[in-house]
Amino acid sequence: MASAAHLHNPAKRDTHYGCPLNGAQFLVDLHDAGAVFNFCGSLRFQLALSPKLRQHLAEVAQNESLMGQQPQVFDASMDKLAKTPGYSKTADADNVLILHGREVRQVASAAGGMGCVLQLCLANAADPEGWTRQEVGDYNGWGHDSQRPWRKGPQLQSEGFEGFQSQFGEAAYSLHHRFYLHFDRGNQIWLSAEDGCEGEPVPWSPGMQTD
């Protein structure tokens, strides 16, 4: 599926989603379009929301009484999670300031042509695709990737994410991150992991080159 301009062009995005931004609808539409992020400067990752998170965001997007649950997009000065107000080195997330998620590798069906998915899931709720108790327990996402536990499908399934391999494939493996959203100085929105890896939505269609 080709990505629509309002998903990656800041001016068209603001016209479509308003100012202040309806960030919940923006994330839902990115997911529904199979949108691709250019993550860490060279890898194309498809954004995917767990069904529980998509349902939650869709409700927030359509209900003005839930405005306080809109995902926040921080300003350009907060280009690291550690710069945001109230930051602490924990596994905590609230689906507003901080999101739980994973980078998933070797996903044959992923848009972007590189086998990569950025999955976001619902924190603090009964999400079958949410972080497992073990992922919460060993999270240290402020550290370098080489010092953190990557999980293969059988491990995640044994810990409680029972549908991981059926969803992403038998070869897939993942690393869990806390994510947040921030603008850059050109008004583009970036999805950033706590360790500093981040990406912006980019135009994508199946016929595009992957290099």
What tens digit of pLDDT does each residue of 22-38 get? 999 999 999 999 999 99
Tokens (6 digits) for 134:
């073990």
Handedness of CA 150, 155, 158, 163 (dihedral sign): positive
Q: Residue 147's pLDDT band (boundaries 50, 70, 90)? A: confident
> Is the confidence at residue 187, as pLDDT, over 50?
yes
Average pLDDT of the residues in 159-165 = 97
pLDDT number for residue 184: 98
Angle at 197 between CA 53 and CA 29, to 5 degrees: 35
What φ, ψ does residue 161 adopt, rounded to 5°?
A: -85, 80
pLDDT number for residue 208: 66
pLDDT number for residue 81: 98
Percent of the chain with pLDDT over 90: 90
Q: At what angle do helices 10-17 and 23-32 cross, to 10 degrees?
A: 110
C-beta of residue 173 within 8 angstroms of C-beta of residue 105: yes
Question: Could you report the per-residue pLDDT of 103-129, keeping only the tens digit for each?
Answer: 999 999 999 999 999 999 999 989 999
pLDDT number for residue 82: 97
How many whole angstroms separate alpha carbon 165 and alpha carbon 18?
A: 38
Handedness of CA 189, 125, 101, 8 (dihedral sign): negative
Looking at every residue in the chain, the average pLDDT score rounds to 94
> Is the confidence at residue 140, as pLDDT, over 90?
yes
As beta bridge partners, residue 193 has 179
Question: Could you report the per-residue pLDDT of 53-86, keeping only the tens digit for each?
Answer: 999 999 999 999 999 999 999 999 999 999 999 9
Element (H, E) at 168: helix 164-168
How many whole angstroms separate alpha carbon 97 and alpha carbon 81?
A: 10
> Is the confidence at residue 211, as pLDDT, over 50?
no
